[in-house]
């Protein structure tokens, strides 16, 4: 599809506009946090302590030591993360899954199984794609 005249911008200008939009969104977010007296300015949730049990990260690591988070979604997420990164698609899937896991360890309770449901389609597609030659994958 051809780009209408006047809508095509050079890459440096696109980057500048994207950076300005990101900065504007961050400033609005921080303004809302300050206006509502949020204890965690700039982030979605507070992460300082978890009830009376100390750090949320420490609590999640204790849960990890018990082995429960390794079996979420029938182990499909762990299987995806353990697959060899033989193709770019798998590297991208693993990066998305790793970012999701880190976010859950920082801000979530890893023993709450429902937060892991978001990874089911990604893990299943990654496992399926790893068993197919690249020529069979959708473009």
* pLDDT tens profile 56-75: 788 888 888 888 788 888 88
Let me know whether 57 and 22 are in one domain: no
Let me know whether 60 and 31 are in one domain: no
pTM above 0.85, yes or no: no
> Which residues neighbour 96 within 8 Å (Cβ) at sequence distance 6 or greater?
122
Q: Nearest-5° angle of CA 31, CA 35, CA 38?
A: 95
- pLDDT of res. 106: 82
Other CB atoms within 10 A of residue 6 CB: 6
- Domain membership of residue 18 as a residue range: 1-44
- H/E element, 104: helix 88-107
Let me know whether 27 and 8 are in one domain: yes
- Tell which wins on pLDDT, 13 or 8: 13
Name which of 3-7, 24-28, 69-73 the model is least confident about.
3-7
- pLDDT of res. 108: 81
Domain count along the chain: 2
* pLDDT greater than 70 at residue 5: no
Structure tokens at 55: 């750090």
Let me know whether 40 and 58 are in one domain: no
* pLDDT tens profile 120-135: 999 998 888 888 777 7
């Amino acid at each position: 599809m051809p780009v209408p005249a006047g809508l095509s911008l050079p890459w440096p200008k696109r980057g500048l506009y994207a950076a300005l939009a990101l900065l504007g969104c961050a400033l609005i977010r921080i303004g809302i946090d300050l206006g509502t007296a949020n204890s965690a300015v700039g982030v979605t949730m507070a992460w300082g302590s978890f009830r009376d049990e100390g750090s949320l990260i420490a609590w999640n690591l204790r849960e990890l030591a018990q082995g429960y988070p390794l079996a979420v979604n029938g182990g499909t997420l762990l299987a995806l993360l353990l697959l060899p990164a033989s193709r770019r698609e798998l590297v991208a899937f693993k990066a998305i899954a790793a970012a999701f896991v880190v976010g859950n360890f920082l801000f979530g309770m890893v023993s709450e199984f429902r937060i892991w449901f978001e990874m089911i389609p990604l893990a299943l597609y990654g496992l399926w794609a790893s068993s197919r030659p690249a020529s069979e994958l959708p473009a």
